[in-house]
Amino acid sequence: MAMVQYASPTATQEESAMAQKNQDLSSRQLLDLIGLSEEDPLDLLAEEPLDGLKGDLGAALRERYRSFSEPHRFAPGDLAVWKPGMRNHRLPRYGQPVVVLEVLETPLFDGESDAGSTYYRERRDLVLGMIWETGPGRGDMISFHFDRRRFMPWTQEN
């Protein structure tokens, strides 16, 4: 299995190369590049556990804060998944286990310069590996950087 590393969970090496070449893409080509298609649609909100948002929004926000603030110790080789309500990237999906490749002592911060972006100064202190599921790299292990506060240890139950 080849090891491939991409800089961001939202861009592949192929996408980056195409952007550098300034090639015009049709919307279908763009969707194919990012792993979306009419045959295999991905609805980000459909996977979001929204049960806690039906009542008191303040209570739901405090619960999300509590979950975000609850620390977990990770070590290389551990399996992890998103904490409920903490996913802020398309991949991995909720419930999809990923393997911890590295825990960074000094966090990296996203270089996004637009303060209105959800990734503005996002902390990245956990390198996670997952299996790429679509396209030419299908089956390859890829790695992404994430904020460890958004993850919890994987168990059979989650």
Higher confidence at residue 16 or residue 138? 138
Please check the confidence at residue 111 and state whether its pLDDT lies above 60: yes
CA 115 remoteness from chain centre: 20
pLDDT for the residue numbered 134? 86
Angle made by CA atoms 83, 85, 89, in degrees to the nearest 5: 85
Q: Are 109 and 117 in contact (CB under 8 A)?
A: no
Poorest-pLDDT segment among 39-43, 77-81, 144-148: 39-43
Mean pLDDT of 28-52: 59
Task: Name which residue leads in pLDDT, 69 or 54.
Answer: 69
At 89 the pLDDT is 92
pLDDT of residue 151 exceeding 50, the answer is yes
Q: Give the mean pLDDT of the chain.
A: 80
C-alpha to C-alpha distance for 53 and 51, rounded to whole angstroms:
5
* pLDDT of amino acid 135: 87
> Of 8-12, 23-27, 33-37, 111-115, which range is least confident?
8-12
What was the pLDDT predicted at 128? 98
pTM: 0.66
116: left (phi over 0), alpha (psi -120 to 50) or beta: alpha
Could you tell me the pLDDT band of residue 7, with boundaries at 50, 70 and 90? Answer: very low
What pLDDT is stored for residue 131 in this prediction?
A: 95
